[in-house]
A and B are shown apart, each in its own frame.
Chain A
Amino acid sequence: MSKEFLTTPLDKRKILPVKPAFAEILIKLAKKNKNIVVLDADLQRCSGTEPFMKKFPNRHFQMGISEQNMVSVAAGLALAGKIPFANTFANFLTKRACDQVSVSVAYNQANVKLCGDYAGMSTAKNGGTHCSVEDVAIIRAMPHMVVIAPADTIELQKAVEAAVKYKGPVYIRKVRGPMPQIFTKNYRFKIGRSVELMKGNDITIISYGAMTYYALIAGEKLKKKKIKARVINMSTIKPIDKKAILKAAKETKAIITIENHSIYGGIGGAVSEVVGENYPCLVKKIGIPDEFGETATFEWQLKYFDITSERIIRIAQKILK
């Protein structure tokens, strides 16, 4: 069986831009599937769909700064048989157009693929009005929504492919990037399936999106301290991989979650819900506290909110003492 993810040193990984990867997969799929259409809300420079627009000009809709309209129009397209990809910043997609996502898309079970860009602190200096601290929580709570947050550009491409095959609303949470490579081309992405990137039975670290890389760094450093951490990339936040969570709860001492999102309602919340009902265990949540994002670089904010590999290590050592 060929390897699904890299095991090369973390500091030697390729760092790949998000936009071209997204455009590439959209174009590839759209060549085969003529129902795929794309919508933008005056943030095409950030979604990166320009190559798609150039290739399929009449299958691209520039909706202007009208996120609510864009989402409901996407729903209409879906109800008439299309597979629309609606793009804008995650924060505007899930909050400005929140009711439209809920009613036009989720309530109608419209086959819309919502793609939220520059998620969480990755919006960096765009600041608090652009930083989606609670998008996962909001969309996760909406009936029938699937929520996926890829950990690298390969997983993003696989997720887009899976979203096209899946019939129903999907939210794909993208970060600004560039993102260090985690997976190989052989990765078999499946909605709802998490991947154990590092084996271990002492403690479990669960993450998604941009934080998976930091979880791996923590895992490596813990290894040197003789602590074997299980590192799980849980890119599908809904439907959540209950089996993997419960297995971790049973086999390891505790679970630490880390995310580029609020500690309320994100993966920390989702994991707690699962273990709380089935196999109570300690879940330590690392994420944005009860705050909005800051106008600052991604790295600066990670330090500011202490969403770091070091924090994982500190917590793990304390628990295992």
Chain B
Amino acid sequence: MTIKQLEKIAWQARYDLVKRVPVGLGLHWGGSMSLMEILSVLYFKFLKIDPKNPKKKNRDRLILSKGHGSPAQYAMMAERGFFPKSWLSRIDENGWKLPKHAHRLKLAGIEASTGALAQGLSMGIGMALAAKLDKAKWHTYVIGSDGECTEGQFWEAALSANKFRLDNLTLIIDNNRMTLDNHIKIVMPSLNISKMFKAAGWQVYECDGHNVKQLVDRISRALKIKNKPVAIVANTIKGKGISFMEDNPSWHSGKLTKEQKEKALKEISKRLKKYE
């Protein structure tokens, strides 16, 4: 996969999600849009997985710890061929396979059910420990968020991952600098994710989380680090790609009107055109 292709997939997934989700359905748009490049790079470049055999032995594991980003993951899984894109129009249907927060017992390919923030890194540590015990080569990726870094459990996890020298674990933080109520600089101004992970003994890389080239570079480097876990702080824009959502706390979650949907699709199509 070339950088251009990975970029295009991210925009395509944004397009598919906005296009297929029915008008008026409340979703976590902001935190889904910020994730797309991270997900395209993982699903199309790094994750050793088989969409036709989601439970395959020795597959890599991905945990979306910020479970409310599931719509983005669904869009990317559809791109990767886990299920037809038409399923995206049924996200959040009563009792169906694609709930707002993904559930491993509802959809093959979801490794851990999340939705209550800040548990995914710990579950990832458990998986990475199991792989070490089994002398297995598969890798565990966890996607977390800046908001999760304000939870105590995240730092309990950070300390233990270093203690166990988990070089088979990579954490990517979708650092959109915003939580539900507001900008992180208002909600928790003292948060300094890179410094805190460094202090906990992690290898830390930073990058622009919408720059595919940088993401590929950082993850490639992370996979070569021995004896410690790696955190990649990917600086992103909440609501990326949709002008009225970008960096706007009101779009943490919300419902698109017909007009807003059209505007969003127009803006995303423009980006997609560049790759034709």
Contact = CB atoms under 8 A, between A and B. Distances in A.
A245 B56 CA distance: 56
Contacts of B95: 294-296, 300, 304
A66 B100 CA distance: 22
B148 interface: yes
Interface in A217-272: none
B181 A130 contact: no
Interface stretch (B8-16, B115-123, B258-266, B268-276): B115-123
B194 interface: no
Contacts of B113: 128-129
A62 B186 contact: yes
Interface stretch (A40-48, A74-82, A138-146): A40-48
B192 interface: no
Interface size bracket, A side:
20 to 34
Contact of A296 (B26, B94, B117, B182): B94
Interface in B181-216: 181-182, 186-188
A295 B101 contact: yes
A65 B101 contact: no
Given A64-B150, A66-B150, A129 B180 contact: no
A130 B181 CA distance: 17
Contacts of A158: none
B101 A129 contact: yes
Contact of A294 (B94, B147, B182): B94
A92 B180 CA distance: 15
B131 to A, nearest CB: 25
Contacts of A69: 152
A60 to B, nearest CB: 11
Given A66-B150, A295-B95, A128 B187 contact: no
B94 A65 contact: no
Interface in B244-265: 252
A64 B115 contact: no
Contact of A66 (B115, B152, B182): B152
Nearest to A130: B115
A108 interface: no
A295 B187 contact: no
A298 to B, nearest CB: 11
Contacts of A42: 147, 150, 179-181, 187
B180 A43 contact: yes
Nearest to B117: A65
B85 interface: no
Nearest to A67: B151
A96 B101 contact: no
Interface string B84-122: 000000001011100111010000000001111110000
Contacts of A66: 150-152, 188
Interface in B131-160: 147-148, 150-152
A127 B180 CA distance: 17
Contacts of A96: 116
A7 interface: no
Given A43-B180, A68-B152, A294-B95, A129 B147 contact: no
B181 A295 contact: no
B115 to A, nearest CB: 3
Contact of A126 (B115, B118, B148, B152): B115
Interface of B: 26, 67, 92, 94-96, 99-101, 103, 113-118, 147-148, 150-152, 179-182, 186-188, 252
Interface of A: 40, 42-45, 62, 64-69, 91-92, 96, 125-130, 294-297, 300, 304
Given A42-B147, A67-B151, 18 more contacts: A40-B181, A43-B181, A45-B180, A62-B182, A62-B186, A64-B187, A65-B148, A65-B151, A66-B150, A66-B151, A126-B100, A127-B100, A128-B115, A129-B67, A129-B114, A295-B100, A295-B101, A297-B94
Instruction: List 6 A-B pairs, minimum CB-CB distance, nearest first.
Output: A129-B115, A295-B99, A296-B94, A64-B150, A64-B188, A300-B94
25 contacts: A42-B147, A42-B150, A42-B180, A43-B180, A43-B181, A44-B181, A62-B181, A64-B179, A64-B187, A65-B148, A65-B151, A66-B188, A125-B26, A127-B101, A127-B103, A129-B67, A129-B115, A129-B116, A130-B116, A295-B94, A295-B95, A295-B99, A295-B101, A300-B94, A304-B95
